[in-house]
Chains A and B, each alone.
Chain A
């Protein structure tokens, strides 16, 4: 219900700052209560509330109970080798693994043991390895034979146990000259591939996963992240003294915090504290499969959704202020990333699910990294509910498609079960990814019936239509889903068919018209009435003449502008008309260019701010150019600059409008043509302004260039001043308001 009435739209116009903030829908007061709300976010950053894909299921823990008391005691006693019976409550468990038989393994970190549970959550066994006790095991992996690999963090080793929990071998820090001295060997998580190679996450190792062969020899670092290197960093490197530059911290790539492996041997890594590529999916050669994104989506490199950008920081701040009773503003952490991914898990359909350590948001993507859904629930800090784990430490998927979320604080596992809607989407998406479009179509139809805003369903239907060679339908659906590539491809086919059908007719028509014009000219060349007609058509009125002056500017721009200054070839009215026409053309370009070249069309172009921005820039130019001109002995008066600057926008009409029309006949493959014409328009506009300065102020080329430069500088300065003024006064008002509140209320 975020309403922007048109008065307010006008206010925005005046503010003239086109904020492209993605409009968040208000959290709908859902009629059906669920502890969390599920959303889809399309590639334009628009959020749609959808049906829940998962429902809260049962809880495992915190107290673990055996199948029957005696059985458990016998087994556990044997495993424990006579040590005192283990606590049957989990203590800060950190990792979760589900094997092929749906047994659940938990790294019970606080109790220094591994716990094995049945899929129903009954305690089957617990392993503490008495012959060489575990110390704070943080991660584990179970291979197909039932051997357990435990990242024994406290002992700085990885151990391999057999299915009964007996120690098979240890993997201490490998001896290798390739391992840097500085690397601390503190394994936290690990996976093992089919060949028995280990991929170990060690605490804070930015070099990547430690890859060991089955014998424990160091192979290589796997899947390292790259350092983010910005222009600013380059500047710093160039300018800073060496010592100072070396002291710059955080120029290390993000450290991998978690990892998982899927049935096809792809290795997924999770990296915290970075904004992009938090999740990577590596093939055996170490190439990230998610870099290119899905077939029809523009490579989505950000994973882990959050509803609204600053939720994390807001939550942190409100918690802080809830603690302090004094009015002093709680110091916010300088940078709070909205997303802090903790773990990733791949399910039987190849979809991967990530959890956010900060607010418990769960996001699910298909194997190509396309978002399927994400959900989170507003809840008080530190409070978990069914379906909401406030501080999740791990996630795993079982073979029924359920998700298990490990609650590290409360020592519990929450099960989330797929809903009817979630199951439909999974089935349909699986078929689409396998290329079985025909089979997927009826399922996508049903998904679409239940939720018309769910973009993956529309894309699925579009792909099916494309496969059926129903290109018009495919184009429409791709358009509806906002998929540019698909839209363009379908249009290419549609256009091809159209050409095939109509080519002959149009070519004949064109030829006939050309011939007719030619003949007409030829036969009327020397007739008197033709001259008379031309005479009659020649404008007489001043306004019309002034408008016609545009034509002169095309052929003889410098003279034309000179004439505007000295011969009154332009007037206020004509300039305003030209301006209005330019505004119209600008609007047409922004809102009328084909979707293929104008993705913004999908979210709806908001012309108000755009026009305001355009207008303010133009006005700023006029003012600063006039000011600079009057300082630099330019001869242009204010009105001349005004008229000239209006007329100089002529290319927007002359090229922009036809190009806008033309764009509807082009596909992505002809993008270079479109871009070229677009560039021509911009360059010509820039040249017009240059000539305008030259002509109006009666400058030579050098003077004109200098004037142009200073005008732009002046514009920038005016902008900065206005910005400073507004932000400072805003701060001042807020400061006074705070003082008032303090005094009035305390």
Chain B
């Protein structure tokens, strides 16, 4: 027999491989056909079902379902709509449009019916990728309410949507001062179509614009208001963003925006309003705000519950070719709950809403308040140890602050008379700030473990805690036993999520292990805590890694576990711009968002998050030395009750030019020490007396003048304008602020 040459063998192998691929493709295609074969059984509508009619519920049909000290809950069994009546004021909050105002509603078509419906669903037939999704309410589905039963504290039932083939169980419960609506997983039925999202009682508390003072409150960044008014800008725009931020495993329509860190939204109309807290399943809810003119003339705001998310499936590595799709599996969680707290009178504004949410945090989330036993406010100093940049042949390591430098730097700050400092040391790991993975030991070129230990001891002698900054959610060097194919977070299509070339996202289950094994090393250095950057406590990623993967809810659990372990082992922990689920575990919030995402259709950015947190957790705004507007932003820091924070290095600022990560353009401590001391002194004077106090009022006195009121009547008035502000005995110089104690200018 003739022997085969190498070349012939190669051809044969290639041919065989091709055949195999073809065969396998054919098999896959056959499978798909097979899956399409059996349609699900349609829902049979019983003859006695009362189909939902596209009209307002009859006011006479409402029956009392439950009662608490404050509120009464009434339900209409035919439509499952409800009313909440305040016993003290008699005000009514309806789950459907206000009848008088509905008469003027001009919107037609599907949305007119949707607005009347107690539930709006969006669904699609995923087996046919050409079909578009449908957003409908009960009326257009020929739907009805099944099994409506009142129970001790409310009622429950099931929405049936025969056309789409869905049965969606729900319940409504009345508690002391709120009513709670819940979508239940148990009993949820999907047919051929797949549920994408659901809004339950979307029109709850909705109001039209009639010249009253009113707004929709969305928790965008620190909080934003969409005011009730005529001639709104970009009238058709709605606000629809995920609580706790977008999910990088899926398609994000606008990634460059401020995250929603608090699961709260609200509506104020005249002297009434409500605030909603998304309690169970918040990670799967979006805040959906529809100001008047976008979808009907009502202003309404609701939680949109996500069951599946849009995903961009790319099919080519080089081009952008691909298509949008949805996952086959829906997000399953037992309960999706929103609480509505009716508000009346003075408390119906965003400060009142923040107060309700703060009470919720304290009473139910066990966030403990500050005691205020310290005379001075803290100064937060971030230090950058070292970073790397591209060098002649290999990367060049650039030291910015060695541990010895850090001692001198800290000494200089203390010498300015600043007694309360918190140090957060970044870029201390092996090979500096850009190196993610294999943090320990501390790089010997900035002093090593010994240098760090000695620095921490030095700081402790002044009573200054030292946090080490770390980001365990990405890895770019494969250390810690990380192998991206095994341990990386994967998207719906199974691809490892790559942030930059060579930098992949680490599965939550994997970083939990890494941190658990690193914690003792932190403890041996004497560190007081870890400041988590990147994602722990602030970003939720759905992970399709088959070994470590998990849902957003799983991610919350793991992140909380990590934070808790860190706190138990080291004593404290901090999370940059943390999400609400971390509040009870952390000791302060660096870089808390101070502003919204600059959407054209929002009117004002408000310090809602600051109002919630002041007195509970210390927080800082942006780093003072990297401000866009040196002075204006300082004034804002005072207005928002934030503490000063700097990112510093001992090296001259331009030493770190062109390094990979630490892009901060002005960090030299020498350059900033004088202004640091001055700003700290001013801020300390203003904010020290109210460290443990809550903010009870926040308003604008004039277009450029804001007033923040604390418990006990302490007020800070900030004037951003070019002219001095005078009102009675109050005098605020231009671009300055004054603090007033109990009504008198200090």
Contacts and interface: CB of A to CB of B under 8 A. Distances in A.
B694 to A, nearest CB: 25
B58 interface: no
Interface stretch (A26-34, A165-173, A529-537): A26-34
A736 B21 contact: yes
B129 interface: yes
Contact of B666 (A2, A6, A449): A449
Nearest to B652: A452
B568 interface: no
A746 B129 contact: yes
B316 A34 contact: no
Q: A interface, how many residues as a size bin?
A: 35 or more
A325 B256 contact: no
B593 interface: yes
Contact of A378 (B29, B255, B503): B255
A646 B130 CA distance: 65
Interface in A49-66: 49-52, 55-56, 59, 62-63
Given A1-B503, A318-B320, A52 B660 contact: no
A377 interface: yes
B627 A51 contact: yes
Interface in A402-445: 410, 412, 419-421
Interface stretch (B76-84, B386-394, B680-688): B386-394
B330 interface: no
Contacts of A5: 395, 476-477, 502
Interface residues of B, number: 81
B598 A35 contact: yes
Contacts of B254: 379-380, 383
Contacts of A386: 598-600
A312 interface: no
Contacts of A35: 256, 597-598
A517 interface: no
Contacts of B599: 385-386
Interface string A720-743: 000000000000001011111111
A9 B316 contact: no
Contact of A452 (B28, B318, B631, B668): B668
B300 to A, nearest CB: 22
A745 B657 CA distance: 44
Interface stretch (B138-146, B321-329, B558-566): B321-329
B656 to A, nearest CB: 9
A690 interface: no
Contacts of A480: 654
A591 B392 CA distance: 8
A175 interface: no
Contacts of A329: 316, 319-321
Contact of A604 (B234, B390, B652, B665): B390
Contacts of B591: 31
Given A51-B627, A387-B598, A741-B313, A28 B502 contact: no
B411 interface: no
A451 B626 CA distance: 8
A743 B27 CA distance: 10
Contacts of A737: 315-317
A25 interface: yes
A330 interface: yes
B274 to A, nearest CB: 28
Contacts of A607: 392-393
A674 interface: no
A8 B503 CA distance: 13
B129, B234, B629 pick with most chain A CB within 10 angstroms: B629
B395 A326 contact: no
Interface in A321-372: 321-322, 324-330, 332
Given A421-B629, A453-B665, A32 B622 contact: yes
Nearest to A740: B21
Contacts of A745: 313, 315, 325, 493
Contacts of B658: 46, 604
B323 A454 contact: no
Contacts of A51: 626-628, 665
B629 A734 contact: no
B630 A330 contact: no
Contacts of A31: 591, 622-623, 626
B412 interface: no
A58 B24 CA distance: 60
A6 B313 CA distance: 32
Contacts of A46: 658
Contacts of B320: 314, 317-318, 320-321, 329-330
A4 interface: yes
Contacts of B231: 62-63
Interface string B627-658: 11111110000000000000000001110011
B531 to A, nearest CB: 13
A737 B321 CA distance: 12
B493 A26 contact: no
Interface in B120-145: 129-130
B59 interface: no
Contact of A453 (B130, B500, B595, B657): B657
Nearest to A451: B665
A281 to B, nearest CB: 30
Contacts of A741: 313-316, 493
A360 to B, nearest CB: 13
B434 A1 contact: yes
Contacts of B255: 378
Contacts of B671: 449
B501 A2 contact: yes
Given A46-B658, A326-B323, A739-B25, A4 B395 contact: yes
B665 A50 contact: yes
B626 A32 contact: yes
A745 B24 CA distance: 13
Contacts of B654: 452-453, 480
Contacts of A59: 233, 600
A606 B315 contact: no
A410 B312 CA distance: 29
A325 to B, nearest CB: 5
A324 B625 CA distance: 46
Given A35-B597, A734-B316, A743 B29 contact: yes
A378 B322 CA distance: 21
Given A1-B476, A328-B321, A734-B316, A410 B28 contact: no
A384 interface: yes
B657 A4 contact: no
Given A587-B392, A604-B391, 9 more contacts: A2-B660, A31-B626, A55-B628, A329-B319, A410-B234, A449-B666, A605-B392, A607-B393, A734-B318
30 contacts: A1-B660, A8-B502, A31-B622, A32-B621, A32-B623, A33-B258, A50-B665, A51-B627, A318-B320, A328-B321, A329-B320, A378-B255, A383-B254, A385-B597, A387-B598, A421-B628, A450-B665, A451-B666, A452-B653, A452-B657, A452-B665, A452-B666, A453-B654, A604-B391, A605-B392, A737-B316, A737-B317, A742-B315, A745-B313, A746-B129
- Enumerate the 9 nearest inter-chain pairs by beta-carbon distance, A residue then B residue, closest first: A452-B653, A329-B321, A32-B622, A386-B598, A63-B231, A741-B315, A35-B598, A6-B394, A378-B256
